[in-house]
Amino acid sequence: MKNIGVTIVDYGVGNLYSVQRALEVCGASDICISSDPAEILIADRVVLPGVGAFADGMRGLRERGLDSAIREFAKSGRPLMGICLGMQLFATKSDEFGEHTGLDLIPGKVNAIPPKGVEGEHLKIPNVGWSTLDQPAHICWEKTVLRALTREQSVYLVHSFHFKPDSQNNVLATYQYGGNNITAAIVEGNIIGLQFHPEKSGEVGLTILSQYLQC
C-alpha cells in the first residue's frame, strides 16, 4: 500500500497534534511536523493549521523562512490545505488589529465577521459552534474535498474574522450567521482553505480530510 505523506507546518501558532491525530485516523501513514523550509518544499502534501491572530501567524512564518517555502510549494501543483488561521494566511492582506500582508496565494482580504445579523440583532463574536455548509450556485463540490458532504452535516467553527476572496469563483462554501453569508471554504487549483476545524468536526471532518488525502 502506498504511503500517504503529509507535512504539517509548525510556525508557532498551530494546533498541530489534533490535526496530526485526525490525519492518522484517516489513513495518513507518513506525517511530518516541520518548521524546516527545505522539508516543506519536498513534501507530498502540506497542511498549514493555526489558531490566533493573523499578524502573529505571518510573523511566525517569516521568522522561520516558511512564507517563501509555502509560496513555492503552492506553485508545484501538490495539495496545500490551510485550516482556520492557516486558511486566512492565504489572503493578500488582513485588517485584524491593523493592516497586515498575507501570503497572497488567493487574492482577497480577511475582514471581521459582521457584529450584527441582517435584522439588526447583536451576534456573539467570536462565533463558536456548529454550522451547516452552503454550496454556492456557481461551484460544484464533485471534484473537491467536500464532495462526500450532504446538506444536513455540520462542521465546527471558532473565529472572529473570515476570508473574502476578490473572486467569488474562489468561494467553495459558506455558512449563515445571523443571515450573513460567511466564507467557510476557499479553493484555487491545488490550494484549499477551510475556515472550520475538520479535526474537531467529528465524522464529517474526517471525511473531508480523507478526501484531501486522495488528492
Model pLDDT for residues 75-88, shown as the tens digit of each residue: 999 999 999 999 99
CA dihedral of 8, 49, 10, 112, whole degrees rounded to 10:
160
Residue type, 213: L
57, containing H or E segment: helix 54-63
* Amino acid 40: pLDDT: 96
Q: Region 118-137: what's the mean pLDDT?
A: 95
Distance CA 41, CA 2 (A): 20
154, containing H or E segment: strand 154-159
The answer, as to whether pTM is greater than 0.85, is yes
Distance CA 73, CA 71 (A): 5
| CATH number for the domain harbouring residue 146 | 3.40.50.880
- Domain hosting 144: range is 5-213
Distance CA 182, CA 3 (A): 36
Q: What is the per-residue pLDDT across 91-108, written as a single tens digit (0 to 9) for each?
A: 999 999 999 999 999 999
**Set of cell numbers at residue 160:** 472572529
Picking from 3, 41, 33, the residue whose alpha carbon sits closest to that of residue 15 is: 33
**pLDDT band at residue 1 under the 50/70/90 scheme:** very low
Residues classed as catalytic: 84, 197, 199
**pLDDT band at residue 138 under the 50/70/90 scheme:** confident
pLDDT reading at 30 higher than 50: yes
Answer for the pair 83, 19: CB distance below 8 angstroms, yes or no: yes
Structural domains counted in the chain: 1
